[in-house]
C-alpha cells in the first residue's frame, strides 16, 4: 500500500484485525454477576464488560462494544486469558498486561498472543484504547462501580 | 480595506496561494507528508500577521494595563483598548463598553450563567437550550439551574441536524427567562436561524445568548442586526491566539449584572467596609488580562477584514459543495449533519470502521481531522453513533486537500475492511 508509514501498517496488520473480529465470539454471558461500562471520551470508544463469577472464578465473560480495532482486539485477548481464572488473580493480570503493553516488562506467557498489540506503543493516544477493557474489568470489582473513563475530558 | 482586497471582495475570489503563504504552519510536514489541516473547528491556525503582532507587543510594549503612567503601560493599555474597538466594529456592537474580554467562549457563557443567571433565575423558571449545543453551552446552565431551582429545557432537532422550529416556539413560554443556542454547530455545521430565534425568544420575554464560536471565522456577524442580548466567541477559532475570547452584552443588561469575579481592575475603590465596582467593561475583567492575546485578536480581525468575510463565505461555500459531492463517492460513508444551511464541516461515520482508527490512519497520510464526540455527547446519542470523524475547513483549505481526504479514506478502507 502506497503512502502509509510502516508504523501504521504494523498497527493494522492482520493479527490485530483478526483479534478484533473475534470479539464477536464474546457476547455478554447469560448470567451476569458483575457489570461495568467503560468510555474513552477522547475518541468515543464505548464498552460494557459483563462477568459471570462463580466459586471465586470468572466462569464466563463478554462484551457489548462500539470501539476501535485496538480496543476490540485487546478485549478479545483479555477474554481469552481471563476465562476461568481465579478472581483474586485479576489485579495481577491487569498489572502485568499494562506493564507489558507499555514495554516495561516482557509479555508473560499467558499473553503470548498479545504481541499483536505491541505496535500500539508507537501511538501514545492509542494505549488508552488497549487499556479500556482492562480498566472496565477492574471497575466490575469496584465496591461502587462508576463508568471507567480512560482520561479526563479533553476540551475542543 | 486596501485596493487589492477591495477588488477581491467585489469578485469574491481569494488568492489562496497568497493566503496560504501567510500561515507558516501550513508549510510543515507530518509523517513526511505535507500537513493537511482539517481540524479548524477545534482550533484554527495563525497567520504571520497575528504571530508578528503578538511578538511585537512583547518585544516593544509589554507592561501591565490600566495601572501605570509610564510609557510602556500607556502603550500596552492603548494596544489592549484598541483591540477592543476592533472587536466592537467587527461585530457591530454599539459601544466598546459592551465588549468584555474573556478567556474564550466557555468563560463568556459561564459569566452570563453565573452573573445574570444567579441574579434572575428563580425556582420554576426555565432556561431553553438546544440538542446541538457544545458542552460549554449545556453544563453552565445545568449548574445554575441546579443552584436556583430553574428547569433546563432542550429544543430537539431533525435527522438532517436542523432545529425543529415548531418545537422551539412551543417550548418558549412565560416562564422562559434565558434562551441559549449556537449560531453554527461545531459538530454538524448547521447554521441556525438566529435572528428569528431571537425575535421569538424576545416575544416570550426571555433574554438570548448566542454561542458564536463557530460563526465568527466563517461569516460576518452583526449583533445589532441579530438583536441578541449576549454573543460569545473565542479568538483561537478565528486565527487569533488561545486564551482570549469575547462576551458581547447589551449595556443595560451588563449594568444590572453583579460582577463575576472580584479582584484588581474591576473596582473603583476598595475599603474593608465597601467596595465600589468599576464601570463597564472593566467590571467584568478582574485581574491582569491576556493583553498579548487581545492584541493578537485585533490583528486577526484586521487580517479577516483585509481578506474579506464575504469572499471567505463564498469560497468556503464552494468547498462545502465540492466536499459534499466528493465524500459521497466514498463507499459506506454516512454524513452526519445535512442541514440546508450549513458551513464547511463534514462529520461522518464509515461502515465497519471506528472513527479513532480512521483518525490514526488519516493522520499518517498527513490529514488532520478530529475524531470523537466533539464535546456534543447528547448529539451523538441522537444520531446513535459513539463518535464521528470531523473534517472542518477554513478559508486556507483547498479542493486538492479535500481530494487528499477522499484518497486517505480509500486507504482507510483498504487497511481496515
Ligand atoms: C460551538 C462551540 N461553543 C463553544 C466552544 C468552546 O470554546 P472554548 O473552548 O474556546 O471556550 C466551542 C469549541 O469547540 C464550540 O465549537
DSSP string, A35-73: EEEEEETTTTEEEEEEEEEETTEEEEEEEEEE--HHHHH
Q: Ligand 1 pocket, B246 CB below 6 A?
A: no
Which range (B87-91, B196-200, B370-374) has the least confidence?
B370-374
Q: Nearest by CB to B355, from A5, A44, A153: name it.
A: A44
B10 Cα: distance to centroid of ligand 1 (angstroms): 32
Mean per-residue pLDDT, A61-66? 94
Question: Among A111-120, B133-142, B339-348, which stretch is predicted with the lowest mean pLDDT?
Answer: A111-120
Q: Choose from A67, A117, A156 for mutation: most chain B CBs within 10 A.
A: A156
The CATH number of the domain holding residue B350 is 3.90.1150.10
> In the beta sheet, which residues pair with residue A151?
none
Q: Kindly state whether residue B332 falls inside one of the protein's structural domains.
A: yes
- Domains defined along chain A, listed by start: 6-149 (3.90.1010.10)
Residue that terminates a domain, selected from B280, B305, B330: B305
**E strands present in B253-336:** 267-270, 275-277, 333-335
Which of A39-48, A100-109, A124-133, B16-25 ranks highest by mean pLDDT? B16-25
Q: Which domain holds residue B195?
A: 51-305
Look at A149 and A63; give whichever has higher pLDDT.
Answer: A63
Sign of the alpha-carbon torsion through B33, B34, B38, B42: positive
- Pairs of CB atoms within 8 A across A/B: 84
Tell me the C-alpha distance between A49 and B69, whole Å. 65
List the single residue in B with minimal CA-CA distance to A69: B357
- B145 and B10 both lie in a single domain: no
Which is higher by pLDDT, B347 or B372?
B347
Same domain flag for B292 and B344? no
pLDDT > 70? residue B342 = yes
Q: List the one residue out of A68, A61, A41 whose CA is nearest residue A130.
A: A68
Q: Is residue B44 part of a domain?
A: no
From the list B372, B415, B416, the residue facing A44 with the nearest CB is B372
Neighbouring CB atoms inside 10 A of B265's CB total 17
Segment B129-155 shows an average pLDDT of 98
CA distance B303 to chain A (A): 24
Structure confidence at residue A2 (pLDDT): 54
Residue B1 confidence (pLDDT) above 50 = no
Which residues of A fall within a CB distance of 8 Å from B373? 41, 44
Whether A23 contacts A134, CB under 8 Å: no
**pLDDT(A128) > 50:** yes
Give me chain B's average pLDDT, please.
95
Q: What is the pTM assigned to this prediction?
A: 0.91
Q: To test the ligand 1 pocket, which listed residue (B43, B132, B209, B213) has its Cβ within 8 A of the most ligand atoms?
A: B213
In a domain, B43, yes or no: no
CB B171 within 8 A of CB B155: yes
Q: How many CA atoms lie within 13 A of B50 on its CB side?
A: 26
User: Ligand 1: does its nearest atom lie under 6 Å from the Cβ of B102?
Assistant: no
Q: What would the mean pLDDT of B66-87 be, rounded to a whole number?
A: 93
> Is residue B38 included in any domain, yes or no?
no
- Residue of B139, B364, B375, B376 best to disrupt the A interface, most CBs of A under 10 A: B364
Among candidate residues B305, B325, B340, the one where a domain is terminated: B305
Q: Are residues B160 and B221 in the same domain?
A: yes
Let me know whether B368 and B235 are in one domain. no
Ligand 1 atom at shortest distance from the alpha carbon of B237: 10
DSSP class of residue B176 equals E
Mean pLDDT of chain A: 88
- What is the mean predicted confidence (pLDDT) over B99-122? 98
One domain for residues B120 and B195 = yes
Q: How far is the CA of B47 from the centre of ligand 1 (A)?
A: 21
Q: Which of A129-143, B100-114, B244-258 has the lowest mean pLDDT?
A: A129-143
- Asked if residue B35 belongs to a domain, the reply is no
Of B136, B364, B372, the CB nearest to A5: B364
On whether ipTM exceeds 0.90, the answer is no
For residue B233, which phi and psi values (nearest 5 degrees)? -155, 165
Which residue in the set A12, A17, A44 is minimally distant from B356, CB to CB? A44
Final residue before a domain boundary, out of B243, B276, B305: B305
B134 touches chain A (CB under 8 A): yes
Asked whether residue B279 is domain-assigned, the answer is yes
Sort B263 into a burial class: Cβ within 10 Å, 0-12 / 13-18 / 19+: exposed
Which residue of A lies nearest to B384 if distances are taken between CA atoms? A66
Active site residue B228: no
Predicted pLDDT of residue B68: 76
- Whether A11 sits inside 8 A of B42 (CB atoms) is no
Same domain, B10 and B152: no
Number of domains in chain B: 2
Residues B326 and B266 occupy one common structural domain: no
Same domain? For B353 and B365 the reply is yes
CATH number for the domain that contains residue B152: 3.40.640.10
Does residue A142 surpass a pLDDT of 90? no
Helical H segments across chain A, by residue range: 6-11, 14-22, 69-82, 90-101, 124-140
Q: Please indicate, yes or no, if residue B291 is contained in any of the structural domains.
A: yes
Q: Specify whether B120 is located in the same domain as B162.
A: yes
Of B293, B381, B412, B378, residue with least CA distance to B391:
B412
Q: How far is CA B50 from CA B8, B134, B303, in A?
A: 21, 27, 8
Q: Is B182 in the pocket of ligand 1 (CB under 6 A)?
A: yes
Share of chain B above pLDDT 90, in %: 89
Whether the CB of A156 sits within 6 Å of ligand 1: yes
| pLDDT of the residue at A145 | 64
Instruction: Identify the band that residue A25 occupies on the pLDDT scale cut at 50, 70 and 90.
Output: very high
Q: Answer whether residue A85 shows pLDDT above 70.
A: yes
- Strand B275-277 relative to strand B267-270: parallel, antiparallel, unpaired? antiparallel
What pLDDT band is residue A144 in, cutting at 50, 70 and 90?
confident
Q: pLDDT band for position B10 (50/70/90)?
A: very low
> In this predicted model, what pLDDT tens digit does every residue of B218-229 receive, in sequence order?
999 999 999 999
DSSP B77: H
Q: Write down the pLDDT at residue A10.
A: 87
Task: Judge if the beta carbon of residue B183 lies within 6 A of ligand 1.
Answer: no
Q: What pLDDT is attached to residue B343?
A: 97
What pLDDT was estimated at residue A155? 35
Distant-in-sequence, close-in-space partners of A153: CB < 8 Å, separation ≥ 6? A41, B135, B375
CA nearest ligand 1 atom 12, residue = B213
Is B375 in contact with A70 (Cβ distance < 8 A)? Answer: no
B202 and B320 part of one domain: no
**A113-117, B24-28, B61-65, B284-288: the lowest-pLDDT one:** A113-117
Q: Could you tell me how many residues make up chain B?
A: 417
B275-283 LR contacts (CB < 8 Å, sep 24+): B279/B97, B280/B97, B280/B98, B280/B100, B280/B251, B280/B254, B280/B255, B281/B84, B281/B96, B281/B97, B281/B98, B281/B99, B281/B100, B281/B101, B281/B254, B282/B66, B283/B254, B283/B259
Measure the CA–CA gap between B322 and B378, rounded to whole angstroms: 29
Examine the domain organization and report whether B300 and B353 are in the same domain: no
Q: Which of A123-137, B37-51, B104-118 has the lowest mean pLDDT?
A: A123-137
Separation of CA B397 and ligand 1 centre (Å): 21
The verdict on residue B148 lying in a domain is: yes
Across the range A84-103, mean pLDDT stands at 94
User: What does the alpha-carbon distance between residue A70 and residue B299 come to, in Å, rounded to a whole number?
Assistant: 44
Amino acid at each position: 500500500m502506497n503512502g502509509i508509514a510502516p508504523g501504521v501498517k504494523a498497527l493494522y496488520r492482520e493479527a490485530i484485525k483478526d483479534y478484533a473480529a473475534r470479539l464477536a465470539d464474546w457476547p455478554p454471558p447469560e448470567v451476569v454477576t458483575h457489570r461495568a461500562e467503560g468510555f474513552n471520551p477522547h475518541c468515543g470508544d464505548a464498552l460494557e464488560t459483563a462477568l459471570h463469577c462463580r466459586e471465586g472464578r470468572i466462569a464466563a465473560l463478554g462484551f457489548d462494544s462500539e470501539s476501535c480495532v485496538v480496543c476490540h482486539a485487546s478485549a478479545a485477548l483479555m477474554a481469552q486469558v481471563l476465562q476461568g481464572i481465579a478472581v483474586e488473580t485479576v489485579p495481577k493480570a491487569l498489572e502485568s498486561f499494562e506493564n507489558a503493553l507499555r514495554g516495561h516488562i516482557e509479555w508473560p506467557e499467558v499473553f503470548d498472543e498479545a504481541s499483536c498489540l505491541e505496535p500500539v506503543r508507537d501511538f501514545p493516544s492509542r494505549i488508552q484504547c488497549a487499556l479500556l477493557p482492562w480498566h472496565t474489568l477492574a471497575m466490575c470489582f469496584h465496591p461502587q462501580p462508576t463508568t471507567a473513563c480512560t482520561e479526563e475530558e479533553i476540551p475542543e | 480595506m486596501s485596493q487589492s482586497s477591495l477588488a477581491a471582495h467585489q469578485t469574491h475570489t481569494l488568492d489562496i496561494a497568497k493566503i496560504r503563504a501567510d500561515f507558516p504552519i501550513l508549510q510543515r510536514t507530518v509523517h513526511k507528508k505535507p500537513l493537511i489541516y482539517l481540524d479548524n473547528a477545534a482550533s484554527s491556525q495563525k497567520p504571520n500577521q497575528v504571530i508578528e503582532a503578538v511578538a511585537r507587543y512583547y518585544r516593544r510594549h509589554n507592561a501591565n494595563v490600566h495601572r501605570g503612567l509610564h510609557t510602556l503601560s500607556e502603550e500596552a493599555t492603548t494596544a489592549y483598548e484598541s483591540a477592543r474597538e476592533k472587536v466592537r466594529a467587527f461585530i457591530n456592537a454599539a459601544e466598546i463598553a459592551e465588549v468584555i474580554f474573556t478567556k474564550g467562549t466557555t468563560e463568556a457563557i459561564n459569566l452570563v450563567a453565573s452573573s445574570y443567571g444567579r441574579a434572575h433565575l428563580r425556582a420554576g423558571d426555565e432556561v431553553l437550550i438546544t440538542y446541538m449545543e457544545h458542552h460549554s453551552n449545556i453544563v453552565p446552565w445545568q449548574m445554575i439551574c441546579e443552584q436556583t431551582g430553574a428547569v433546563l429545557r432542550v429544543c430537539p432537532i431533525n435527522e438532517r441536524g436542523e432545529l425543529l422550529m415548531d418545537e422551539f416556539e412551543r417550548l418558549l413560554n412565560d416562564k422562559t427567562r434565558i434562551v441559549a443556542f449556537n449560531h453554527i454547530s461545531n459538530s454538524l455545521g448547521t447554521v441556525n436561524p438566529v435572528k428569528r430565534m431571537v425575535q421569538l425568544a424576545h416575544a416570550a420575554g426571555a433574554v438570548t445568548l448566542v454561542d458564536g464560536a463557530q460563526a465568527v471565522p466563517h461569516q460576518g456577524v452583526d449583533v445589532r442586526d441579530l438583536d441578541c442580548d449576549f454573543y460569545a466567541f473565542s479568538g483561537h477559532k478565528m486565527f487569533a491566539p488561545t486564551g482570549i475570547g469575547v462576551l458581547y452584552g447589551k449595556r443595560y443588561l451588563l449594568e444590572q449584572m453583579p460582577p463575576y469575579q472580584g479582584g484588581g481592575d474591576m473596582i473603583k475603590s476598595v475599603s474593608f467596609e465597601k467596595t465600589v465596582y468599576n464601570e463597564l467593561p472593566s467590571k467584568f475583567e478582574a485581574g491582569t488580562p491576556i493583553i498579548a492575546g487581545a492584541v493578537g485578536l485585533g490583528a486577526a480581525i484586521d487580517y479577516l477584514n483585509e481578506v474579506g468575510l464575504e469572499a471567505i463565505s463564498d469560497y468556503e461555500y464552494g468547498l462545502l459543495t465540492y466536499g459534499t459531492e466528493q465524500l459521497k463517492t466514498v463507499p459506506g460513508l454516512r454524513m452526519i449533519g445535512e442541514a440546508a444551511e450549513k458551513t464547511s464541516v463534514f462529520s461522518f461515520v464509515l461502515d465497519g470502521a471506528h472513527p479513532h482508527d480512521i483518525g490514526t490512519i488519516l493522520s499518517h497520510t498527513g490529514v488532520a481531522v478530529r475524531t470523537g464526540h466533539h464535546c456534543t455527547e447528547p448529539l451523538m446519542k441522537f444520531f446513535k453513533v459513539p463518535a464521528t470523524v470531523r473534517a472542518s475547513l477554513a478559508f486556507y483549505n483547498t479542493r486538492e486537500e479535500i481530494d487528499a481526504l477522499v484518497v486517505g479514506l480509500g486507504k482507510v478502507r483498504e487497511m481496515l475492511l
